[in-house]
Structure 1
Amino acid sequence: MMIAAALFGNLAADVVSHDDITELDAFLADWFHSHKHSIWTDPMLFITHTHDVLGVCIMASALGLFFYLKKARYWLICLMLAVPGGQLLNVLLKYIFQRARPSFEEPLLTLSTYSFPSGHTLGATVFYGVLAAYLVCTLPRWNARILAVLFACTMVGLVALSRVYLGAHYLSDVLGAIVEGCGWLAVCITGCSTLRRRRDARIGE
């Protein structure tokens, strides 16, 4: 949690001060825009649209229903804190930094909101993070746990890539969102785990 906060602070400071990472941001944004191809554009659009606020809310609702049916109360609480809370935190950070999005003559996407950090990437990070954490804690075999983590990382990476490819965000926007999401996820999981342990301790007295 503290590591995530430190990483995010350093990244945000670099963005605000227009440090070297902003040069890399501009280079990658121009490179992806100049190398866009219809073969990749449609899949990237599909990934990005299925992980907008509505898409993440639908997936989170389905996962929440699963937790409810499994009587996984604390995982349900964690999910309810992580996804909506993370989105609210992201909106607050966008208005604090007020970074303009990449600008092109013929953009694939046109958005009027601020750029840093990426909301799509944040949503994917907290949703797939909760899912992976639950599977790691419940699956009996290590290889299945590793696959769950790899799946979550792959999905977050694809969402982040789609945002940069489509010209909606810079590299530092998606990196900041991943770090932000990991930090917020750590807060939510730690808090719910503490509540569960205290409840178990009271029952055992």
Structure 2
Amino acid sequence: MKFLSTNRVLRFIEARFTPGGELGLHLTAGVALMVLATAVFGAIAGAVVGRTGIALLDLRVSQWFDAHAAEPLVSVVLVFSALHSVASVAVAAGLLGWYFWRRRERYWLLALVCAVPGGMLLNVLLKYVYQRSRPVFDAPMVDLATYSFPSGHTSASTALYGFLACYVVMTARRHGTRVWAVLLAVLMVALVATSRVYLGAHYLSDVLAGIVESCGWLALCITGCSTLRRRRAA
């Protein structure tokens, strides 16, 4: 009986790491990324609530950016940030959805709807859970009444650019194209996150939490839709 039980466990583990299985390696990797992202987000949120760790660095980083803000960079950053607002990302996601609809890529369309609009709703929910106030300055560059943690701009941009990178990685034939897609996605997310801290709209922990939040949600959406497609095909 013990031998049979061990065999079952080994077969289960082997099936979870089989690249071609409908519940194989891709699902295992997605779940692992989601669990890791959840753990990291929990650590950041715990530090913010307890005012320890990275939360102690938040004020110093925000004050440094505020002290070094100057034109014409401020105007450039304001425009760049506006181009990555939640509304702008929603429009971009709509155009991408139209592209998938025209190409009849139903599973990618489903994954997009879950990842970007779904991620935005998750971000709003988390903001109301933590209800963190935004940074306060004598002469603020932006004046926002909504909550700060986690960053909506950063979260939405991470979902959009991360989704585009996943699509290119899974469909492009050239290895170089895949690498460039990932690097460009990382660069754009980093620029959006930096712009929000530079403008004084968010703390460092806000943008980091937004990135982690969307990475975990994106892994869940991509993996879930891929599993659904594989099961239908099987």
After TM superposition, the score normalised by the length of structure 2 is 0.85
Partner of 1:27: 60
Q: Which runs of 5 or more residues in structure 2 are unaligned?
A: 1-33
Amino acid at match of 2:131: Q
Partner of 1:148: 181
Deviations for 1:113-156, whole angstroms, at most 9, x for unmatched residues? Answer: 11000000000000111111000011111111000001111111
The one of 191, 194, 201 aligned to 2:227: 194
Amino acid at match of 1:106: A
State the secondary structure of the residue aligned to 1:112: coil
Q: Does 1:87 align with 2:120?
A: yes
Distance, in Å, in 2 between the alignment partners of 1:113 and 1:154 is 26
Q: Which runs of 4+ in 1 moved over 6 A?
A: none
Amino acid at match of 1:171: L
The one of 88, 96, 100 aligned to 2:133: 100
1:16 deviates by: 0.3
Distance, in Å, in 1 between the alignment partners of 2:103 and 2:181 is 19
1:39 deviates by: 2.5
Amino acid at match of 1:40: L
Q: Does 1:179 align with 2:220?
A: no
1:20 deviates by: 2.7
Alignment of 1:108-119 (within 5 A): 108-119=141-152
Partner of 1:2: 35
The one of 154, 160, 166 aligned to 1:133: 166
Distance, in Å, in 2 between the alignment partners of 1:132 and 1:87 is 18
Deviations for 1:69-114, whole angstroms, at most 9, x for unmatched residues? Answer: 2221111100001111111111111111111100001000000111
Distance, in Å, in 2 between the alignment partners of 1:195 and 1:160 is 33
Distance, in Å, in 2 between the alignment partners of 1:111 and 1:41 is 17
Q: Does 1:18 align with 2:51?
A: yes
Partner of 2:17: none
Partner of 2:3: none
RMSD (Å) for aligned C-alpha atoms:
0.7
Amino acid at match of 2:57: L
Distance, in Å, in 2 between the alignment partners of 1:137 and 1:126 is 16
After TM superposition, the score normalised by the length of structure 1 is 0.96
Distance, in Å, in 1 between the alignment partners of 2:73 and 2:102 is 38
Deviations for 1:13-37, whole angstroms, at most 9, x for unmatched residues? Answer: 0010000312211001000001001
State the secondary structure of the residue aligned to 1:58: helix
Q: Does 1:72 align with 2:115?
A: no
Distance, in Å, in 2 between the alignment partners of 1:151 and 1:43 is 19
Distance, in Å, in 2 between the alignment partners of 1:152 and 1:69 is 24
Larger deviation, residues 39-48 vs 101-110: 39-48
Amino acid at match of 2:81: T
Partner of 1:168: 201
The one of 38, 41, 47 aligned to 2:80: 47
Distance, in Å, in 2 between the alignment partners of 1:142 and 1:189 is 20
Q: Which runs of 5 or more residues in structure 1 are unaligned?
A: none
Matched residue pairs, number?
201
